Amino acid sequence: MSIVINTPNGQIGRLLALRLLEAGRPLTVISRTADKVADLVTRGAKRVQGSTDDAAVLDGALAGAEALFWLTPPVSSPDFVAWAKQAAQTAAKAVKAHGVKRVVVLSSVGAQHGSGTGPVNAMQGVEEAFKAVCADVTILRPGFFMENFLRDVGTLAKTNSLFMPVPRTKAVPFVAVADIAAKAAEVLLDAGWKGHRYVGVHGPADVTYAEMESIFTEALGRPVRYVQVTLDDARKGMAAAGLPGWLVDIYAEMYGGIGDGRMDPAEPRSAQTTTPTTLAKWAREVLKPAVDRAATSAA
């Protein structure tokens, strides 16, 4: 019986797929495009062609499956929240129909609120969809992806600055996507857990945006400063960068939620929720090469 991954082409899904294949587990992946998962198929994965929101595709992928790893793809349309919930409900129907025993859902910090958190608004409905049909569901609620700082590479290369509408003193859990994939693999390979569980994935420590200055300065070898901007200025910046209005609204709501606590973790930090990769290590190994390339290209 196989483990099914609905998003094998993303950062987390791909790393998870490789871990499961290395562990010798039968794996089924859903992908519209064959070449994007060709290496996984070569290693033994079965590919089901199609979209992750297609009932027939999900029915085919989950037939004979023992477990499902479900990750909601990034925001892609104005109806994202409704789409994400509907896609999860469609998958949940297939889980129930085929008697899939376990589901691992990638959710997010802030999901406990159900609204007021931008793209995370969809996650509570996604969580509930699977809990309604499966007795054994682990919901992973990771902190803020370190990889999101890759969006700021150009700005860091040009100005040595980060501009965000979040208070300098706000401490948040930053986590590397590799550690999220490792946690998901750990849960999927563990046959001992039962029931409905919420598991935080919090990185090694909460970090304030003020502390980030010194971490990035040392890791990048350049004097990085954090500049807190207003939410209105952030909106203007996103619009100037070409983001459509509906997407500006979604991200602005999320940034507001970080500042006022709606994006805080519901799960307390513990040995179970703490993962190894520090922000400094990630910045040295991932962010610095990207910033250096951008700076060289602009010179």
How do residues 88-146 score in pLDDT, each as one tens digit? Answer: 999 999 999 999 999 999 999 999 999 999 999 999 999 999 999 999 999 999 999 99
Alpha-carbon gap, residue 102 to 196, rounded angstroms: 10
How do residues 140-176 score in pLDDT, each as one tens digit? Answer: 999 999 999 999 999 999 999 999 999 999 999 999 9
Mean pLDDT of 1-19: 96
Contacts of 240 (CB under 8 A, 6+ apart): none
Both tokens of 166, joined, read 């979040």
Contact call for residues 137 and 102 (beta carbons, < 8 A): yes
pTM of whole model > 0.75?
Answer: yes
Question: Does residue 299 have a pLDDT over 80?
Answer: no
Q: What is the pLDDT of residue 76?
A: 87
Domain 2-144+175-201's class? alpha beta
Quickly count: other Cβ atoms within 10 Å of residue 76's Cβ: 10
Contact call for residues 68 and 6 (beta carbons, < 8 A): yes
Quickly count: other Cβ atoms within 10 Å of residue 99's Cβ: 11
Question: Does residue 74 have a pLDDT over 80?
Answer: yes
How do residues 277-289 score in pLDDT, each as one tens digit? Answer: 999 999 999 999 9
Contacts of 7 (CB under 8 A, 6+ apart): 13, 30, 52, 71, 73
Mean pLDDT, the chain, integer: 96
Alpha-carbon gap, residue 41 to 124, rounded angstroms: 33
Alpha-carbon gap, residue 275 to 142, rounded angstroms: 10
Domain boundaries, the chain: 2-144+175-201
